Amino acid sequence: MYLYVKAIHVFAVVTLIGGMLAMALVLRSAIASPEATDVRRFGEAVLRWDGLVTTPALAIVWMAGFTMAFGAGWDSSLWLLVKMIPAVVLSGLHSLEALVLKRLLREGRRVHPLFGAAAFAILAVFAAIAWLAVVKPF
CA angle 66, 128, 49 (to 5 degrees): 65
Consecutive 10-residue runs of the chain (138 residues): their mean pLDDT? 96 98 97 86 97 98 96 91 97 98 94 97 98 94
Residue 51 is classified by DSSP as: I
What residue numbers bound the domain in which 77 lies?
2-135
* The predicted structure's pLDDT at residue 6: 96
Q: Is the model's pTM score more than 0.85?
A: yes
Angstrom distance (rounded) from CA 107 to CA 112: 14
DSSP string, 89-118: HHHHHHHHHHHHHHHHHHH-PPPPGGGGGH
Angstrom distance (rounded) from CA 82 to CA 4: 24
* The predicted structure's pLDDT at residue 116: 96
Report which of 109, 107, 100, 116 is spatially closest to residue 32, judged by C-alpha positions: 116
- Number of domains the chain contains: 1
Residue 63 is classified by DSSP as: H
* The predicted structure's pLDDT at residue 75: 85
* The predicted structure's pLDDT at residue 33: 87
* The predicted structure's pLDDT at residue 34: 76
